[in-house]
Amino acid sequence: MRTTIARRGLVAASVALIAGFSFAGPAAATPAPNWSGMNVTNYSGPIPAAPGTLIEQVPLARPLWVNAAASAYRFLYSTSNQHGPHATSTAEVFLPKGTPPKGGWPVIAWAHGTVGLGDQCTPSAQPAAARQQTYLGHWLDQGYAVVGTDYAGLGTPGLMSYLNGKVEAHNLVDSVRAARQLGKPLSNRWALVGQSQGAGAAMNGARYATEFSRGYGLDYRGVVATGTPANIETIVSLGGPTFPPVKLPTGLTTYAMYIVAGFRDARPDLNVNSILSPLGRQLADQAETLCYDEFSKEMDGRDLRAMFVKPISSIPNAYGQLKEYMGTPDNGYDRPIFLGQGLTDIDVPAPSALSLAAALTANHQPLQLHLYPTDHSGTVYAATNDATAFLQSIMR
């Protein structure tokens, strides 16, 4: 009952909020990817049956490093995707400067935010953005190795399954296992850290970390999630030719079409194309190939209602299907949770994370909720000191 009330509150608050949202203009076009000599976008080699098995590794090209790193590598490993096991993903790992402690550097599994679905968007093939340089550099300076999965389908065969929490959970856990096969001084102690899309991935990873890593010899300790998209399926399931009742800002329409593209790919049996207009199908196709900056230009000024000819609810059990695809669990966590949220966040509005926090609290989960008077990006910086203390307490 409390979760249902939280969902209703999220819908009402979000509809009220989104009418006034504004977004900064899109940045420059995405540079050509730098694969560090390991282009596996069309990989057709053998895939080990065991998830988290290292397949190939190369030094990460120097222009792609986080500046605080002593060394960096890019690697390919076995994992699952939206269509089952026996898939692949790439990841990057950054090692701190200095002498590793006994047992190796403790590990942060970094879950990145929205970059787009095209292979050229792959984080391990693009220079680190300023915020990532600062944030990941901070964790390296604190003595943590950082393992950043790209998620299956970004730079590997298939489509990255946007906001598909359980797939992202597999990718995160498997990246840590594979990284420990690189022959580098990495501890079995690890935690999850994610922002935005990555916060949802990290929360799913946290829920399933113990289950998915059983038998790997890993020691999972907890999660830091900031700007977490939660209960978004509640709003998405209401979409169609007449909802939302207002024209949305570019950022939200861009995210929405990434969700449509990912859901359509993950569930071909539901014939998502049948509810899309010709324009909607065209834009969903473009969503599969364009990075955020380019796709947000394409979505600028679009009315999301024009993307549909039938409501999403016309899909049988639409809400249940979407929740299975992109839901954030609100129970079953066995390690501490740090949930940080900006109160002026317009990318992931506060009601989203707060509805999750309410459900987690009602279900007696091990939650720490931290609120900050800042926006989506600012939450990363505002939460850093609290998150640092949190990780220090759980990683001892």
For 55-79, give the DSSP string.
EEEEEPPGGGS-TT-SEEEEEEEEE
Same domain flag for 356 and 387: yes
| Position 5 pLDDT exceeds 70 | no
Same domain flag for 251 and 357: no
Last residue of a domain, one of 325, 345, 365: 325
Asked if 296 and 250 touch (Cβ cutoff 8 Å), the reply is yes
Same domain flag for 320 and 334: no
Asked if 98 and 143 touch (Cβ cutoff 8 Å), the reply is yes
Query: Hey, what are 286's tokens?
Result: 């473009």
Last residue of a domain, one of 325, 356, 382: 325
Asked if 153 and 159 touch (Cβ cutoff 8 Å), the reply is yes
At position 314, the amino acid (one-letter code) is S
Whole-model pTM above 0.95?
no
Q: How many domains does the chain have?
A: 2
d(CA 329, CA 344): 24
Q: H helices then E strands: how many in the chain?
A: 12, 9
Which DSSP helix (H) or strand (E) runs through 3? Answer: helix 2-18
| Position 13 pLDDT exceeds 60 | no
Which of the four pLDDT bands, split at 50, 70 and 90, describes residue 248? Answer: confident
112 located within any domain = yes
Which DSSP helix (H) or strand (E) runs through 323? Answer: helix 318-326
- For 192-206, what is the HEC assignment? EEEECHHHHHHHHHH
Identify the domain containing residue 127 by its residue range.
Answer: 54-230+327-394
Query: Hey, what are 287's tokens?
Result: 């969503």
| Position 20 pLDDT exceeds 90 | no
Per-residue pLDDT reduced to its tens digit, 224-244: 999 999 999 999 999 999 999
21 located within any domain = no
Same domain flag for 108 and 179: yes
23 located within any domain = no
Same domain flag for 65 and 210: yes
d(CA 305, CA 312): 11
Partners of residue 189 on adjacent β-strands: 219
387 located within any domain = yes
Asked if 123 and 154 touch (Cβ cutoff 8 Å), the reply is yes
Taking alpha carbons only, the member of 125, 122, 95 closest to residue 108 is 95
93 located within any domain = yes
